[in-house]
Amino acid sequence: MDWFTGIIVYLLIWWTALFAVLPIGTRPMEDADPDAGGWRGTPARPLLGWKVLGTTALSAVLWLGVYGLVDSGLISFREGFWAYEGAASSGPLPGRAQN
């Protein structure tokens, strides 16, 4: 995995993990007043800083696992069943005349 792919995979893992971590430990406000801008589902203490740090740590561990699988060759899009064979091995495209 090159560095660009590694960054993109990390960002995808990070956002997915963030949405999994956000609801953990949230409690709704007891006396949310809709006239004052509150809502009954508004968290009393969202603790976003801790959740971002936890998401970053969780994403780093998950990314290391993905990197290990890709680097070991167990998951590969270059060889095996999921490999793209290339245009040379495929037949003519529909609607095009063969030379």
- CA dist 82 and 70 (Å) reads 13
Domain boundaries, the chain: 1-27+43-74
| Mean pLDDT for all residues in the chain | 82
User: Is residue 10's pLDDT more than 90?
Assistant: yes
- CA dist 83 and 9 (Å) reads 19
User: What are the pLDDT digits (tens) for 12-56?
Assistant: 999 999 999 998 888 877 776 677 666 767 777 888 999 999 999
- CA dist 34 and 58 (Å) reads 35
User: What are the pLDDT digits (tens) for 54-64?
Assistant: 999 999 999 99
Mean pLDDT value of segment 64-93: 74
- CA dist 46 and 17 (Å) reads 16
- CA dist 85 and 20 (Å) reads 36
Crossing angle (nearest 10°) for helices 48-72 and 3-21: 140
Per-residue confidence (pLDDT) for residue 9, from 0 to 100: 95
